[in-house]
Amino acid sequence: MDIFQIVAIGIITSILYMVLKEMNASFAFLLVLVTTILIFLVVIQQIGVIFRLIETLGNKANIDGMYMETILKIIGIAYITEFGANLTKDAGLQSVASKIEMAGKIFILLLSIPIITAVIEAILKFIDSV
């Protein structure tokens, strides 16, 4: 499925949503939910290709696998968080969406601690050698 098909599905879903929301709001939201999940599943396959490419580049650059794995996890958390937050915003649950976003930021911060530590250690080694 290419981008034109995804955009067409999104436009068709938007039109159907506008028509159905007056008649049956629950069904209209279900339509949006199913479409969102469908698009997410298509996109997640492409993200997998990107992750494999990044991992290959990291191996070629002799970057420690732990750092590459952590970076990929951070990217994954960011996408999943955005997906969940946008879905809850669409449902009209802004407060839940903001909590999802906050949780995503905390998880990203937790995962980034080893990378931050490694950067600080590298800077300190560089300073000591000068």
Q: Vertex 13, ends 1 and 2: CA angle to 5°?
A: 15
For the chain, give the percent of residues with pLDDT over 90. 28
Q: Which pLDDT tens digit goes with each residue over 59-99? A: 888 877 778 888 888 988 998 999 899 888 887 899 999 99
The pLDDT, as a whole number, for residue 1 is 62
Q: pLDDT at position 100, please?
A: 96
Q: What is the dihedral of CA 49, 53, 55, 60, to 10 degrees?
A: 160
Mean per-residue pLDDT of the chain = 87
What is the pLDDT at residue 79? 86
Q: Is the pLDDT of residue 130 over 80?
A: no
pLDDT band at residue 28 using 50, 70 and 90 as cut-offs: confident
Q: How far is CA 35 from CA 4, 13, 25, 45, 122, in A?
A: 15, 7, 15, 16, 46
Q: Is a pLDDT exceeding 80 seen at residue 30?
A: yes
Give the global pTM: 0.69
